[in-house]
């Protein structure tokens, strides 16, 4: 049994969440980003990548070997905690409940994607407001642009990879088009340090 009092206490602590969104060409950027992490990470990181679906999650296995903090696949109802990296499984949308647990959802694809960055950015920003740090990197469609509007409106932080550094620039540049002002536009190597300012 799960200790409910423990969960309740955890819920009251404010927690900052980094939502890392990417698609085509994002995997190298993700690795580069995560390798900067040191022990005692003060935030939770949720990773959303457009991938082909399958039951075996090799990305989780691979990252667990590479990175010094715990990497977990998102399961329905998982309680988000700082110091952990969560990978959204392919084939599900991921949304956040009021009590900071993550839910999965099989509703229709958004922008031809499931998981869709639009869905997660909207839902995470609804529940986290200014505690959300959204990072949008390389990808070949405009998924994330609509979600970014919500992040901006709810005072979350928006960090976008410099489009010309991205393998596929559509995703970062469509965010820049959709939102009047993002917080940072930075090259790949500076993504982590820029985000870390808010940790």
Partner 1 sequence: MEVLLEITQAELADFIEISNNLYGVDFSGYAQESLRRRVLRLMKLKECDTFAAFKYFLANQKLTDNELLNEITVNTTEMFRDPEVFKFLKEEVFDIMETYPRINIWHAGCSTGEEPLSLAILLKEHGLLKRSVQYCTDINSEVLAQAKKGIYELREMKEYSTNYIRSGGEQSLSDYYVANYGNVKMNKGLGKSMVYTKHSLVNGSSFNQMHMIMCRNVFIYLTTEQQNKVLRLFLDSLSPRGYLILGAKESAVFSTVFNELETVNGRLKIYRKKK
**Which CB sits closer to partner 1, 124 or 167?**
124
Q: Collapsing DSSP states into helix, strand and coil, what is residue 160?
A: strand
Element (H, E) at 18: strand 17-22
CB 29 within 8 A of CB 138: yes
In the chain, the largest separation of any two C-alpha atoms, in whole Å, equals 50
Distance, CA of 121 to CA of 135 (rounded, Å): 10
Q: Does 1 bind partner 1 (CB under 8 A)?
A: yes
Distance, CA of 187 to CA of 169 (rounded, Å): 12
Minimum CB–partner distance for residue 123 and partner 1 (Å) = 6
Is residue 93 flagged as an active site residue?
A: no
Q: Which of 36, 42, 62, 97 binds partner 1 (CB under 8 A)?
A: 97
Token pair in block for residue 78: 């998982």
- Nearest CA to 86 out of 107, 106, 101 is that of 101
CB 21 within 8 A of CB 50: no
Q: Does 92 bind partner 1 (CB under 8 A)?
A: yes
Minimum CB–partner distance for residue 63 and partner 1 (Å) = 18
- Residue 51 to residues 25, 59, 127: CA-CA distances in angstroms? 11, 10, 25
Minimum CB–partner distance for residue 92 and partner 1 (Å) = 6
**Window 26 to 85, contacts with partner 1 (CB under 8 A):** 55-56, 73-77
Is residue 107 flagged as an active site residue?
A: no
**Which CB sits closer to partner 1, 119 or 168?**
119
Distance, CA of 152 to CA of 127 (rounded, Å): 14
Q: Does 155 bind partner 1 (CB under 8 A)?
A: no
Size of the site for partner 1 (CB under 8 A): 29
Minimum CB–partner distance for residue 44 and partner 1 (Å) = 17
Minimum CB–partner distance for residue 133 and partner 1 (Å) = 20
Number of Cβ atoms within 10 Å of the Cβ of 117: 31
Is residue 143 flagged as an active site residue?
A: yes
Catalytic pick among 118, 143, 174, 183: 143
Residue ranges binding partner 1 (CB under 8 A): 1-2, 55-56, 73-77, 89, 92, 95-98, 103-108, 119, 122-123, 126-127, 149-150, 153
Active-site annotation, residues: 23, 50, 143
């Amino acid at each position: 049994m799960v200790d409910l009092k423990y969960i309740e206490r955890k819920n009251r602590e404010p927690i900052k969440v980094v939502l890392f969104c990417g698609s085509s060409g994002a995997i190298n950027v993700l690795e580069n980003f995560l390798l900067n992490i040191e022990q005692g990470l003060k935030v939770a990181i949720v990773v959303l990548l457009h991938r082909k679906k399958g039951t075996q999650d090799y990305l989780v296995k691979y990252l667990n070997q590479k990175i010094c903090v715990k990497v977990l696949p998102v399961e329905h109802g998982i309680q988000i905690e700082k110091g952990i990296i969560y990978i959204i499984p392919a084939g599900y949308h991921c949304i956040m409940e009021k009590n900071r647990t993550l839910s999965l959802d099989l509703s229709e694809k958004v922008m031809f994607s499931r998981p869709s960055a639009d869905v997660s950015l909207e839902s995470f920003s609804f529940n986290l407001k200014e505690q959300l740090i959204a990072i949008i990197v390389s990808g070949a469609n405009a998924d994330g642009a609509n979600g970014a509007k919500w992040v901006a409106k709810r005072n979350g932080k928006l960090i976008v990879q410099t489009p010309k550094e991205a393998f596929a620039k559509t995703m970062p540049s469509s965010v820049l088009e959709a939102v009047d002002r993002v917080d940072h536009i930075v090259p790949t190597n500076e993504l982590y340090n820029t985000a870390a300012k808010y940790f």
